[in-house]
Amino acid sequence: MVEIDIEELRKRYPNLYKELMGSRGIKLRFKDPLRGFQPGAIDFIRRAETKEQALEVIDYMEKKGEIPHDYAEELRDIINKHGPRFFGEKKEDGYYLKKYWMNYQVEEKELSNDELDY
């Protein structure tokens, strides 16, 4: 048995896709919860394992001009006194997927083949 993603089927075999979908199809719409999101210094600090890694993040962001010197100093003071967990639990791999994408709402609408974007 061969498995193929529905989008790949649509792109590679558009006529077969139309035939298999019959006279009706489904169009899914959703809002990207992270559209336009830019992680900040604290988001990166929360990925650090150690105080040293957190300080490296701050140094890098200050050097690149992504955060001002005063803010960098404030963050360094907090890290030195309380450590990187002061800002919250560590953000593990897949953090945003678990927090946002697994809970997004999909609007499902039944469409005729004429309305589908092929």
pLDDT tens digits, the chain, 118 residues: what are they?
Answer: 567 778 888 888 888 877 777 655 566 566 666 666 788 899 899 989 999 999 999 999 999 999 999 999 999 999 999 999 998 888 877 666 666 656 555 444 554 555 555 4
pLDDT at 34: 64
Contact yes or no for 95/6 (Cβ under 8 A)? no
Range list of β-strands (E), the chain: 24-30, 106-112
pLDDT at 108: 47
Whole-angstrom distance, CA of residue 85 vs CA of residue 82: 7
pLDDT at 90: 84
pLDDT at 5: 78
Whole-angstrom distance, CA of residue 17 vs CA of residue 28: 16
Q: What is the Cα Rg of the chain in Å?
A: 23
Amino acid symbol at 36: G
Whole-angstrom distance, CA of residue 7 vs CA of residue 9: 5
pLDDT at 27: 61
pTM of the complete model: 0.55
Structure tokens given for 21: 């979908």
pLDDT at 118: 45
pLDDT at 114: 54
Alpha helices by DSSP H, 13-68: 14-21, 41-45, 51-63
